[in-house]
Structure formats: structure tokens, C-alpha cells
């Protein structure tokens, strides 16, 4: 069957600016369908939410799936599924119906697909049950179920136990998902599908991609298992790889901060087999917004399997950054022909020998349209624990207009520390002498809206 599924998942859909994500790469493979005859049941959702283009695209995808399996088993010329393999069709809405038993006639299978009409609720449990009953437990054929659906269960029993019983009987379950109007979650498909979950589930929010999902799955089922697999992953420049777990199969290595390589000698050569790799990335940029996790990911093997990994995105929330008191540069140009140049740089501050200290502070949960008064007090602590004033900075942080309250990072608050004021050690004039400092920060909303006194009352 070749590589039957590939996936890439992240464990969170929203992180803070320097947050960490777990990324899971997964794929599965099975032996060649000609040397490993397979019974396949397509389980197709025809509930009311499938009306219109979703149903039309699902039909096109299922028909393409049948054609690819037919051609791969040597039956393309006479319109049959060959080499001992068979396909069946089960459709479902309020209840499930066997539209075609396990047969080899391409025309009959396609007719069963094209006759489907959308309407009714969604009964996944009955669909799993009817599909499981199609398989002959005494047959030596491999058993594969492809469940397609676009929504949550709205009728019948809970489907997870029925799917679990099917898997326990030796049926491999793949789930193709269309994110429909009632918001089914990937976790639900993962609960139904064969492990590893990530390599047996393919999801799209766009119904015009359904034919591609069916086509890729059928093409990979038709191939042999994969050998000499190499996966090269490069993450988005806004992220850095911080660690990686040992893969369930093969070997992996981190190449710098933004790339890794995963090698698998063989997968699915003698039986259905899955593999997964988990690694962790940290957001290192300072910009917010929806961001792609990977910059690129490539796959290769000796059999030429076509493998496409999803491109997940994560919403990153960074604090607003403000840099007060940043000195403005004075630009000047010196001609190469002038021997002496005199330029007035304006006024500056007196500085003794010492250091310039820059402090950063994050003001938490500043709400929209509220200015903030910020004060930073710096003291130096002597050997007796006494504090000596070294300066105070006060500033007004402008209001923001983002929806909801946000963190605001105030960067580079400067303090000048002349060396001759040092009280931290015995050798106060030694520039390498450590200085013990203490900073206090106070912040308060300026635009509180509270009228302490009405203006007129001040004059009574």
C-alpha cells in the first residue's frame, strides 16, 4: 500500500510571545496491495450538512479512489478491482445503509456513490457497525475502513466504542475529515482512527480539497511499503527548535536551531506500520499574529511515494513594546576633501566614569484606551543594607486600541550609574566592583474614569 497517511500536528492553537509548541510528525505505510489483497470499505457521510458542493466533491473523491485502486490491482481495462482485493460502500445519515457489499465491479461501486442524496442527522455509530459487518472475519485479506464525515454525532449511540471494537478485530481505520458547520474536532477523529492518530487522519476546511485527500490516500494504499525514508523539516524563522524526543521508528537529528532530519530505513514493508516524531519549538520573534509553524518540509523514499504534510498555524500573542527615553541620533556627513570638520552635536548629559543600566518591565493586562503612568525607582544597597537613591524615571505609556487587555513590554529604561557614587564595596573606584542595586516599579491606569471630585465642588 505504500505510505497510506501523513500528518503534522501541534498541541496548542494559541501561545504567548515566547511560548513553546509540541510538534508531531507522523506517517504510516502498508505493503503492496497486489501482493497483499485488501478489502476496503468507504464509509461516506450523506447527512444534511453535506448538501451542495461538499456532497459533489465527496462523490468525485470517492470515484477517483475507486479508479486508482482498480488501476493499481490490474483491473483498469475490464472495470474490475483485481488481484483479490474488493471495495464496499456504506453511507449514513440518521442510520447507515450498505450501498454496495464487498465487490469488484467498478461500475457498480461508482453507481452506488453517485446515487447518494444528502439529508438527515449524523449517526457515526451505525456507520461503523454496518461497515464492520461487511468484512469476513475468516478472510485473509487485509481490512481497511475509510471513514469520511463533516460533523459531530447528532444521532445514535456514541461511536468511539464501536470504532474501538472494529480496530480490535484487525480493521485499519482511516478518517478523512471536512471541518463542517457544526464544528467537529480533530481529537474526535483521532479517537476513532488507528494509532498513531496523527498518521491516520487527514482534515481540510475546504470541500474542494476532498478529491485530493481521497486521491492521495488511494495512491498511497496502492504502493508498496516505503524504504530509505528521509524527512527534512525547516521551521518558520520566527521559531527555534529547543528539543526533540526519540522517534518511534528510525533516527532523527537537530540541524542548527531551525532544522531537523528524520530517517527511517523501512516502514510498512511486511505489515501496516506507523511512525511518529515529536519535537518542541519556541517562538523567538517579537511580532504577534497567526504564523505558520514550518517554513518547508520535504519527503523522499526509494519507492517514490507522494507525501504531503499539513502546514499548521498557531496564533501568537506578543506584548506591545515601548522604548522610552531612546536618544535620538545626530546624522552628519563628512566630505573626503575636507581636512578639518566642525559639527555642533547639540546638548548632552554629563557622565562620570561608570555604567549605563537599561531595565525592561512588562505591564500586565493593560486594557484598551487606557494610558498608564509608570515609575521606576532605583537604589543602591551598601554593606549595611542601607539604600541610596540612584534615580527615578516616570513616564506615560500611550493607550492602545487592540481588542481586549494586553501585556505591554517597556524596554530600555536607562539609568546612569557614575562610578564615584558606588557604595557597594570597599573599592568604590574599581570599575569591576559589583554593585548591588534594587529596583521598584509602580504602574497605574491614568484613564480610570473615576471622578474624585466634581469640578464645581472645588469652589464651594
**What is the residue whose three cell numbers read 542595586?**
437
Query: Is residue 294 a contact partner of residue 236, using CB atoms and an 8 Å limit?
Result: yes
**What is the residue whose three cell numbers read 523522499?**
300
- Tens digit of pLDDT for each residue in 373-418? 999 999 999 888 899 999 999 999 999 888 888 888 898 898 888 8
The β-bridge relationship of strands 320-322 and 387-397 is: unpaired
CA distance 72 to 113: 20
From 122, 75, 71, 118, select the one nearest 94 (Cα to Cα): 122
- Tens digit of pLDDT for each residue in 236-272? 999 999 999 999 999 999 998 999 999 999 898 767 7
What was the pLDDT predicted at 400?
87
- Cβ-in-10-Å burial (0-12, 13-18, 19+) of 369 comes to exposed
Query: Is residue 283 a contact partner of residue 254, using CB atoms and an 8 Å limit?
Result: no
Query: Is residue 136 a contact partner of residue 108, using CB atoms and an 8 Å limit?
Result: no
Query: Is residue 145 a contact partner of residue 173, using CB atoms and an 8 Å limit?
Result: yes
Residues of the chain with pLDDT under 50: 456, 458-460
- Cβ-in-10-Å burial (0-12, 13-18, 19+) of 279 comes to buried
Query: Is residue 328 a contact partner of residue 347, using CB atoms and an 8 Å limit?
Result: no
CA distance 238 to 185: 27
**What is the residue whose three cell numbers read 465642588?**
457
Query: Would you tell me how many other CB atoms lie within 10 Å of the CB of residue 450?
Result: 6
CA distance 421 to 408: 33
| Strand-pair partners of 392 | 377
Query: Is residue 393 a contact partner of residue 375, using CB atoms and an 8 Å limit?
Result: yes
Q: How far apart are the first and last CA of the chain?
A: 91
Element (H, E) at 2: strand 2-10
CA distance 272 to 30: 4
| Strand-pair partners of 31 | none
**What is the residue whose three cell numbers read 485499519?**
172
The gap from C-alpha 276 to its chain's centroid, in whole angstroms, comes to 16
Q: Specify the DSSP class assigned to residue 105.
A: B
What was the pLDDT predicted at 422?
79
What was the pLDDT predicted at 138?
92
What was the pLDDT predicted at 456?
47
Query: Would you tell me how many other CB atoms lie within 10 Å of the CB of residue 351?
Result: 11
- Tens digit of pLDDT for each residue in 59-97? 999 999 999 888 888 755 568 898 899 999 999 999 999
CA distance 15 to 51: 36
Q: Quote the percentage of the chain above a pLDDT of 90.
A: 48
Query: Is residue 87 a contact partner of residue 62, using CB atoms and an 8 Å limit?
Result: no
Q: Which domains does the chain have, with CATH numbers?
A: 2-317 (3.40.50.410), 321-327+351-445 (2.60.40)
Q: Specify the DSSP class assigned to residue 13.
A: S
The C-alpha cell at 114 is 453517485
- Cβ-in-10-Å burial (0-12, 13-18, 19+) of 341 comes to exposed
Amino acid at each position: 500500500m505504500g505510505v497510506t497517511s501523513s500528518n503534522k500536528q501541534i498541541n496548542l492553537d494559541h501561545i504567548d510571545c515566547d511560548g513553546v509548541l509540541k510538534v508531531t510528525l507522523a506517517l504510516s505505510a502498508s505493503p503492496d496491495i497486489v501482493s497483499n489483497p485488501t478489502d476496503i470499505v468507504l464509509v461516506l457521510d450523506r447527512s444534511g450538512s453535506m448538501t451542495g458542493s461538499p456532497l459533489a466533491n465527496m462523490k468525485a473523491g470517492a470515484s477517483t479512489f475507486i479508479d486508482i485502486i482498480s488501476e493499481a490491482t490490474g483491473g483498469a481495462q475490464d472495470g474490475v478491482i483485481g488481484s483479490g482485493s474488493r471495495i464496499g460502500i456504506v453511507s449514513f445519515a440518521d442510520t447507515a445503509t450498505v450501498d454496495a457489499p464487498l465487490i469488484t465491479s467498478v461500475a457498480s461501486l461508482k453507481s452506488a456513490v453517485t446515487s447518494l442524496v444528502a439529508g438527515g442527522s449524523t449517526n457515526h455509530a451505525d456507520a461503523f457497525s454496518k461497515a464492520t459487518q461487511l468484512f469476513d472475519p475468516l478472510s485473509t485479506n487485509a481490512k481497511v475502513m475509510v471513514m469520511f464525515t463533516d460533523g459531530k454525532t447528532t444521532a445514535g449511540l456514541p461511536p468511539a466504542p464501536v470504532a474501538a471494537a472494529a480496530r480490535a478485530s484487525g480493521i485499519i481505520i482511516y478518517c478523512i475529515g471536512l471541518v463542517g458547520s457544526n464544528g467537529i474536532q480533530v481529537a474526535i477523529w483521532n479517537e476513532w482512527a488507528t494509532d498513531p492518530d496523527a498518521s491516520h487522519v487527514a482534515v481540510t476546511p475546504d470541500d474542494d480539497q476532498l478529491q485530493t485527500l481521497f486521491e492521495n490516500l488511494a495512491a498511497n494504499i496502492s504502493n508498496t511499503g516505503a524504504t530509505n525514508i528521509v524527512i527534512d523539516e525547516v521551521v518558520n524563522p520566527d521559531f527555534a527548535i529547543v528539543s526533540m524526543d526519540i522517534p518511534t521508528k528510525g533516527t532523527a537529528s537537530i540541524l542548527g536551531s531551525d532544522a531537523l532530519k528524520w530517517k527511517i530505513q523501512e516502514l510498512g514493508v511486511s505489515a501496516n506500520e506507523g511512525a511518529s516524531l515529536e519535537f518542541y519549538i519556541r517562538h523567538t520573534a517579537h511580532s504577534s499574529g497567526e504564523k505558520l509553524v514550518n517554513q518547508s518540509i520535504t519527503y523522499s523514499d526509494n519507492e517514490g511515494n507522494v507525501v504531503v504534510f499539513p502546514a499548521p498555524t498557531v496564533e501568537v500573542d506578543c506584548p506591545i513594546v515601548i522604548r522610552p527615553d531612546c536618544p535620538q541620533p545626530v546624522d552628519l556627513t563628512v566630505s573626503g576633501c575636507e581636512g578639518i570638520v566642525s559639527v555642533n552635536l547639540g546638548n548632552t548629559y554629563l557622565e562620570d566614569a561608570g555604567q549605563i543600566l537599561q531595565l525592561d518591565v512588562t505591564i500586565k493586562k493593560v486594557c484598551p484606551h487606557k494610558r498608564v503612568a509608570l515609575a521606576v525607582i532605583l537604589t543602591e544597597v551598601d554593606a549595611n543594607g542601607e539604600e541610596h537613591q540612584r534615580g527615578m524615571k516616570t513616564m506615560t505609556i500611550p493607550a492602545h486600541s487592540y481588542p481586549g487587555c494586553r501585556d505591554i513590554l517597556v524596554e530600555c529604561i536607562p539609568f546612569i550609574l557614575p562610578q564615584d557614587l558606588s557604595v557597594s564595596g570597599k573599592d568604590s573606584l574599581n570599575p569591576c566592583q559589583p554593585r548591588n542595586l534594587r529596583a521598584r516599579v509602580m504602574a497605574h491606569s491614568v484613564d480610570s474614569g473615576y471622578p474624585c471630585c466634581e469640578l464645581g465642588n472645588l469652589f464651594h
